[in-house]
Structure 1
Amino acid sequence: MPTWAQLAEIGRDLRFYPSLTKHPKVLIQEQVTNFNRVGYIKGIPIFDEAEIGEHRQYFDALLASVIAEGGSSYSIISAHMKYGKVYDLLTHPRIVACVKDLIGEDVIGWGAHYFCKMPHDSKTVGWHQDAGYWPLSPSKTVTVWLAIDDAAVENGAMRFIAGSHHLGHLTARHSDPDDNSVLGQIVENAEQHGESVDVELKAGEISIHTDLLLHGSNANPSSKRRCGLTLRYCTSDVQASYRWNREGVVVSGKDNSGHWGNPPRPTVD
């Protein structure tokens, strides 16, 4: 992960670029309008109970394997580069169709990271903006959060600060051990920037948010696991530093610049 100083040297364009879509094919125009206004869409059904149940079983086995090898429930990153079934989710037509309705025809899928809060997990995810971590410019990236398990307030559902993406890149501080946060950055007093919204999702549903939207999540004091798979997408004109472009897959349209690596599907399922 690049340091803050390294990211500052890149001179990134961290402005919100609103969706210009006038005739969405899967979403409705109201959803596109709301995405521009509040920075997110939530509760989009993608997979039925049987379909998401199959992937949940896959993830259960994957998690057991990763933990047995010394990893954790948060350490399964760049998963589309390692596991064919995750690559299939990153490139899944139903998910990509929603993304295209927001950012256009030429789309790169460049990241896949499981965020799995185990039962009675005391860790939080402090308020942050995704753009604060990524060496990408301009700021034309969205995150799809696919609920593998039901996500509710009681088990640490994600939270958004509605409309905070219009403020540009906000100053964050490094988290410290007392914060008990999974990630390394925290934006202080985030609630002053807008309404806090709980993102409760049924398994198989997705939310989508822009990379400038403040978001985070509370601990999971319940007996129910809360797992989500984050899938990251950007327009093909985005440039990635520090060789992050190697992991970008052309999931729709073209990459006319040839900047992105477009790796093949992994053979390991």
Structure 2
Amino acid sequence: MNETIGIDQSIAATLASQGFFVVPGFLDESELQRLREACQPISDQYGVRQVLQNYPSIHQAVNWNKLHAMLHAVEMIDAQPVRSIFFNKNADHNWLVSWHQDMTICVKQKTELAGFSKWTYKKDVHYVEPPAAVLEAMLTCRLALDDASAENAALKVIAGSHQSGKLDERQIVDIGQTTRHETCVMRAGDILLMKPLLLHASDKARLTSQRRVLHLEFSASELPPPLRWAEADRQPVHVS
């Protein structure tokens, strides 16, 4: 655990009850700069999927020892990345995201199984909505490459909303309109841990500086055969 900064066992309890947690200063200055440099070739794009597979330099720039030590601390032992996205909200790409849950996963091939529905196929990847249990066993880690505040559209979340399981559109609208939200203010180098079923959203930025994020989704579970994670990296990772 000596790779982590300010990690303690209470984070797991907070994630269970609140559905999110911001770890300040997770990346040191050299790690942050290395990750920014690795992402530079795609920084003019607003959203790039499968970045770990398609951009090996980004994969190499992540401190996996530190990340997996943190996952171990929050009871995600043996978790591996199963989805990776680079986001950059800026003056040229400034969009609004309404309240929603992250309800889909990426798999290698389409196979009709009970509980797996709403299949789509985009850019050579199959997407499907799995049973709630699959999503509840996952964790999203969002590495901030830039400062994020309300002015440049930091993520908004509704604490505890993940405990209600999958919500339909009407429920999401009702909760979004009637429940207090929190803004996840972050400094560059911070990391946001978030449960996929947590209701979250983001406004259009009022201050259109860059807001770059490396979004990584993790799972310690295998999918029911023959389904397989599209981006699973099952290489062993040493954690000191």
Task: Tell me if both proteins adopt one fold, taking TM over 0.5 as the criterion.
Answer: yes
**Residue 35 of structure 2 contacts residue 62 of structure 2 at CA under 8 Å; is this kept in 1?**
no
Distance change (3 Å), C-alpha of 1:47 and 1:166: same
Q: Indicate whether 1:133 and 2:104 are aligned.
A: yes
Q: Indicate whether 1:213 and 2:198 are aligned.
A: yes
Distance change (3 Å), C-alpha of 1:26 and 1:234: farther
SS in 2 for 1:114: strand
Aligned to 1:110: 82
Q: Indicate whether 1:165 and 2:162 are aligned.
A: yes
**Residue 138 of structure 2 contacts residue 217 of structure 2 at CA under 8 Å; is this kept in 1?**
yes
Distance change (3 Å), C-alpha of 1:195 and 1:251: farther
**Residue 152 of structure 2 contacts residue 207 of structure 2 at CA under 8 Å; is this kept in 1?**
yes
TM-score (norm 2): 0.76
Aligned to 1:60: 40
Q: What is the Cα-based RMSD across aligned positions, in Å?
A: 2.8
Partner Cα distance (1:111, 1:189) in 2: 29
**Residue 80 of structure 1 contacts residue 90 of structure 1 at CA under 8 Å; is this kept in 2?**
no
What per-residue deviation string (whole Å, max 9, x for no partner) do you get for residues 163-207 of structure 1?
A: 00111100138xxxxxxxxxxxx9323335743111111111101
Partner Cα distance (1:213, 1:33) in 2: 15
Segments of 5+ residues of structure 2 without an aligned counterpart are 106-127
Distance change (3 Å), C-alpha of 1:244 and 1:88: farther
Segments of 5+ residues of structure 1 without an aligned counterpart are 1-23, 65-71, 174-185, 254-269
**Post-superposition shift, 1:88?**
3.0
Distance change (3 Å), C-alpha of 1:37 and 1:192: farther
Partner Cα distance (1:99, 1:81) in 2: 21
Q: Indicate whether 1:73 and 2:46 are aligned.
A: yes
**Residue 99 of structure 2 contacts residue 176 of structure 2 at CA under 8 Å; is this kept in 1?**
no
**Post-superposition shift, 1:33?**
1.2
**Residue 27 of structure 2 contacts residue 189 of structure 2 at CA under 8 Å; is this kept in 1?**
yes
Partner Cα distance (2:29, 2:6) in 1: 20
Where do 4+ consecutive residues of structure 1 move more than 6 Å?
none
**1:220-235 superposed matches below 5 A:** 220-235=205-220
Partner Cα distance (1:26, 1:224) in 2: 28
Q: Which moved more, 1:144-153 or 1:26-35?
A: 26-35
Q: Indicate whether 1:189 and 2:174 are aligned.
A: yes
Q: What is the identity percentage for the equivalent residue pairs of Structure 1 and Structure 2?
A: 23
Q: Of the candidates 227, 247, 266, which is equivalent to residue 231 of structure 2?
A: 247
SS in 2 for 1:247: coil
**Residue 81 of structure 2 contacts residue 219 of structure 2 at CA under 8 Å; is this kept in 1?**
yes
**Residue 107 of structure 1 contacts residue 235 of structure 1 at CA under 8 Å; is this kept in 2?**
yes
**Residue 121 of structure 1 contacts residue 219 of structure 1 at CA under 8 Å; is this kept in 2?**
no
Q: Indicate whether 1:119 and 2:91 are aligned.
A: yes
Partner Cα distance (1:204, 1:25) in 2: 11
Partner Cα distance (1:248, 1:119) in 2: 33
TM-score (norm 1): 0.68
**Residue 158 of structure 1 contacts residue 198 of structure 1 at CA under 8 Å; is this kept in 2?**
yes
Partner Cα distance (2:236, 2:62) in 1: 11
